[in-house]
Chain A
Amino acid sequence: MSDIDDRGGPAQPLLTIRGLTKHFALKGGLFGQGAGTVRAVDGVDFSVMKGETLGVVGESGCGKSTTARLLMQLITPSAGEVVFDGRTVGGRELSLKDFHRQVQMVFQDSYASLNPRLTIEDSIAFGPMVHGVPRREALGRAHDLLARVGLAPARFAGRYPHELSGGQRQRINIARALALQPRLVILDEAVSALDKSVEAQVLNLLMDLKAEFGLTYVFISHDLQVVRYLSDRVMVMYLGQVAELGPAEALFTDPLHPYTKALLSSMPAIDPDHRTEQAPLAGDPPNPINPPPGCRFHPRCALAAPVCSQRAPQPVPARTLHAAACLVHEPGSGHPMAAPQSRAA
């Protein structure tokens, strides 16, 4: 099992993403080409440190789920690479099968992600059996995990998914993801479909499991409150690109990117005095088939200047404490609010 041990020590990121890009070709025309490409994910760089929870937020259609599927190697990227604990995934360094033993995913739709023809225990035991664990042992592990996620194995192991509630099913999906004893779990809107009381229970379960098994999470959600509660760092995505990346508290209290500011002000305030009637963001996100030139956010941006439609901001680097892809924060970018080019350097 030396393959799945910690290799680079705590300082080395568990997961490093470089230039991850996914373009979907649109079918159309006589020979099914030339109808353009959807730039679902366009040059994303980030890293996930060991033991942290990285929250990923953004509007629907911003490429969150595509990013998750790319991370999981369920779809092949158009460009870019995924490095897991120092080894490039999919090549000679780390095979896909070994990668999948260490990285698992929980999907949004708790019903669709369970095979309706398999009992709960078989669903959970499937992964370990794929990796050569004998059936009896895999079932034993499934029962242990069922107990761990709060479902009595005697009552639930032989059941089918349709007999359970959404919250119970999502616990089972979590148990299945943990059955391979992974180091990284990608939670793609894992609690979004649950109602609030169940969501809180499952979130607490996720926190407990993280501490118990020393997990690292990539937590994808459109729910800002939940992301703030759960995450150590937060990445904001807009139209397939990273808009801002920073520590959760700093990002929520002092956001850099105008898009993040707009997102945060869209959170309904509990205090009626702080409520606003005004929509923080006008319109829908532009079509990712033909993204606007320059900064992709400029048509909706409150701070947009003429330079924003001509020049794309520098992408957020993977190794950064807190940065935003915005010309306002780029010295010498030509934006009236930007600092002048520092002459000292």
Chain B
Amino acid sequence: MNSITIESPSKVPAEAQRSPGYWANVLSRLRADKVAVGAGIVVLLLLGLALFGPWIAPADPYQSSMLSRLKPIGTDGYPLGTDELGRDMLSRLIVGARLSLFMGLTPVLCAFVIGSAIGILAGYAGGWVNTAIMRTIDVFYAFPSVLLAIALSGALGAGIFNSLLSLTIVFVPQIARVAEAVTAQAKGRDYVEAARASGANAFTIVRVHVLGNVLGPIFVYATSLIAVSLILASGLSFLGLGVKPPEPEWGLMLNTLRTAIYVQPWVAALPGAMIFITSIAFNLLSDGLRSAMDNKA
């Protein structure tokens, strides 16, 4: 067994045997999860629609036609029928993906950045800093998210930017709470103690030892909020607080088509179906991600 003799100190760590990193392991476990893979494919397709929608759409989503209003699904030239102004539903659903996903993802992304920063600060600082931040957060947390989103949007005024802003404000407290909890947990671990014992300052410890162990769980929680955000954003548009007509956006389309629910129920249900599929896909992907990351090894 010559192989276990200890060789002389090597200055260049080049020939070192590498193990796959944590995220490589998560990815390989995620790939074994059929539901998550399916959900991931749906999410990718939706993102593809959002990116390339205008080029994929068979017709102009803004072109209305008084003669072909509320055609049923399967009509010649209108595979998914037409809406109350005679616009091609398929094209509007495809082009609408961009705005709908933008309205759903942006607030979660912004809230992820802001909420993580606030939560990690509160969790790592502890003491009165933690109390001050978390009790302030609790004030927002006390409101039901739908109510808070509508109240903020109403106060700020209708419009895309304002509804993005209000949704971000809705999600920041939720993400901050999760971030605070996981950071406080990580702070108590021995490896953070060991890092403190090596004389590192708080910033370095957070950067090297806390972030890597904390961002994963926060990210998973944030992805589970995407579905909620999509529905809330659609709801705001439905109430006339978000996107304005004639922009194609699923929530707004659901609103304008609701008068036609007795005439063409299947066509009227299509935007709702898109919202449903999207939120289910994001939720399943998030679930898969969580169980893939839960594994200790």
Contacts and interface: CB of A to CB of B under 8 A. Distances in A.
Interface of A: 69, 72, 74, 96-101, 103-105, 107, 109, 112-119, 121, 123, 126-127, 130-131, 139-140, 143-144, 147, 150, 152-160, 162-163, 173, 176, 180
A154 B4 CA distance: 11
Given A97-B199, A126-B200, A139-B13, A152 B194 contact: no
10 contacts: A74-B197, A99-B199, A100-B197, A105-B194, A118-B208, A131-B198, A140-B13, A143-B10, A153-B7, A154-B16
Contacts of A156: 17
Nearest to B194: A113
Given A69-B193, A121-B16, A139-B13, 17 more contacts: A74-B196, A96-B199, A98-B199, A107-B190, A115-B191, A116-B22, A117-B22, A121-B13, A131-B198, A140-B11, A152-B6, A152-B7, A154-B7, A157-B13, A157-B16, A158-B18, A159-B17
A130 B204 contact: yes
A273 to B, nearest CB: 43
B9 interface: yes
B193 A74 contact: yes
A159 B19 contact: yes
B259 interface: no
Contact of B17 (A100, A105, A144, A154): A154
Contacts of B9: 140, 143-144, 147, 153
Nearest to A103: B197
A126 B208 contact: yes
A197 to B, nearest CB: 17
Contacts of B19: 119, 158-160, 163
Interface residues of B, number: 33
B277 to A, nearest CB: 34
B34 interface: no
Contacts of B297: 162
A228 B63 CA distance: 90
B189 interface: yes
Contacts of B245: none
B136 interface: no
Contact of B193 (A96, A98, A107): A107
Contacts of A116: 22, 213
Contact of A105 (B10, B197, B200, B208): B197
B212 interface: yes
10 A-B pairs with least C-beta separation: A100-B199, A113-B190, A127-B198, A117-B212, A158-B18, A144-B9, A97-B199, A112-B190, A130-B200, A115-B191
B195 A104 contact: no
Contacts of A113: 189-191, 193-194
Nearest to B15: A154
Contact of A131 (B191, B197, B199): B199
B135 interface: no
Contact of A176 (B4, B15, B194, B199): B194
B209 interface: yes
A173 B194 CA distance: 9
Greatest chain B CB density within 10 A among A103, A121, A127 is at A127
Contacts of A131: 198-199
Given A152-B6, A159-B17, A72 B11 contact: no
A131 B7 CA distance: 28
Nearest to B189: A112
A107 B194 contact: yes
Interface in B74-95: none
Nearest to A73: B197
Contacts of A143: 9-11, 13
Interface string B19-56: 10110000000000000000000000000000000000
A116 B297 CA distance: 9
A153 B10 CA distance: 8
Interface in B246-297: 296-297
A119 B213 CA distance: 13
A107 to B, nearest CB: 5
Nearest to B6: A147
B10 A154 contact: yes
Contacts of B191: 112-115, 123
Contacts of B4: 152
A340 to B, nearest CB: 49
A72 B190 CA distance: 13
Nearest to B22: A117
A314 to B, nearest CB: 33
A160 B22 contact: yes
A69 to B, nearest CB: 8
A109 B4 CA distance: 27
A159 B9 CA distance: 18
Contacts of B198: 100, 104, 126-127, 130-131, 180
Nearest to A139: B13
Nearest to B186: A115
A122 to B, nearest CB: 8
Nearest to B296: A162
Contacts of B197: 72, 74, 100, 103-105
Given A107-B190, A155-B17, A115 B209 contact: yes
Nearest to A157: B16
Nearest to A186: B197
Contacts of A104: 197-198
Contacts of B212: 115, 117-118
Contacts of B190: 107, 109, 112-113
A118 B204 CA distance: 14
A155 B16 CA distance: 6
A126 B17 contact: no
A113 B195 CA distance: 9
Contacts of A180: 198-199
Contacts of B7: 147, 152-154
